[in-house]
Amino acid sequence: MRAASAGLIVLPDDENPRASLVEERDGSWAVEAQGTARLASDREPLVVDGEAWILDLPQRTSSTAEGSSDALTLSAIALRFAVTRDEERVDITVVCPDREIELPARSHHYLLMTLARARLAEAGAPPVERGWLERKELCRMLATDELRINVDVCRARKQFAGLGIQDAASIVDRRVGTGRIRLGVERVDVRRM
């Protein structure tokens, strides 16, 4: 049995994230597996690495992000990225309404910065269309595979959940029914160190 934490369940476990259940901003749940996302159903069977799971989803009442008026959410923050010239190090500062939080350096920060650059490259597009990348293109850009992307997404979600951000699972969005992925924060800045 696995329980949700900060709107996220990773299957079969955190070290081998083959599938994720993510609470969407509207309170629904999506299954992310094999590079795509789709809406999940309560009591739905889900097979991950040959192991069967039965989804026991909470009733939709409101999204987690609506739970508290003073709760920190992704829509309330901005991300400031600082990257070295050789792009070997990426630092992230979370800019909150009342403070700034410098995150400890992690390898998944490069993924987040790549997604932030995609958002910035489409600054003229409508907000709902900004920053979406095909997962295969993202793998090519990062010279990696889908499993590594899934691990980095899982780690990024956990790092942001550790800050108390209620909708941290949406730090990386996957468009339902497609293989498209983007950064879940609209306000971003990428600078050289």
Q: Does residue 171 belong to any structural domain of this protein?
A: yes
Q: Does residue 1 belong to any structural domain of this protein?
A: no
The mean pLDDT value of the chain amounts to 90
Whether the Cβ atoms of residue 79 and residue 187 lie closer than 8 Å to each other: yes
Q: Does residue 3 belong to any structural domain of this protein?
A: no
Number of CB atoms found within 10 A of residue 22's CB:
24
Q: Does residue 162 belong to any structural domain of this protein?
A: yes
pLDDT digits (tens, 9 = 90+) for 123-146: 999 999 999 999 999 999 999 998
| Residues of the domain holding 125 | 8-192
Q: Does residue 89 belong to any structural domain of this protein?
A: yes
Q: Does residue 135 belong to any structural domain of this protein?
A: yes
The domain total for the chain is 1
pLDDT digits (tens, 9 = 90+) for 99-114: 999 999 999 999 999 9
Q: Does residue 72 belong to any structural domain of this protein?
A: yes
The model's confidence at residue 67, banded by pLDDT at 50, 70 and 90, is: very low
Three-state helix/strand/coil letters over the chain: CCCCECCEEEEEECCEEEEEEEECCCCCEEEEECCEEEECCCCCEEEECCEEEECCCCCCCCCHHHCCCCCCCHHHCEEEEEECCCCCCEEEEEECCCCEEECCCCCCHHHHHHHHHHHHHCCCCCHHHCCCEEHHHHHHHHCCCHHHHHHHHHHHHHHHHCCCCCCHHHHEEECECCCEEEECCCCEEEEEC
- pTM value is 0.83
Q: Does residue 18 belong to any structural domain of this protein?
A: yes
pLDDT at residue 118, as a whole number: 97
> What distance in Å separates the CA atoms of residue 14 and residue 12, rounded to the nearest whole number?
7
Record the tokens describing residue 167, joined without a space.
């909708």
pLDDT digits (tens, 9 = 90+) for 6-27: 788 899 988 888 899 998 878 8
> What distance in Å separates the CA atoms of residue 13 and residue 161, rounded to the nearest whole number?
17
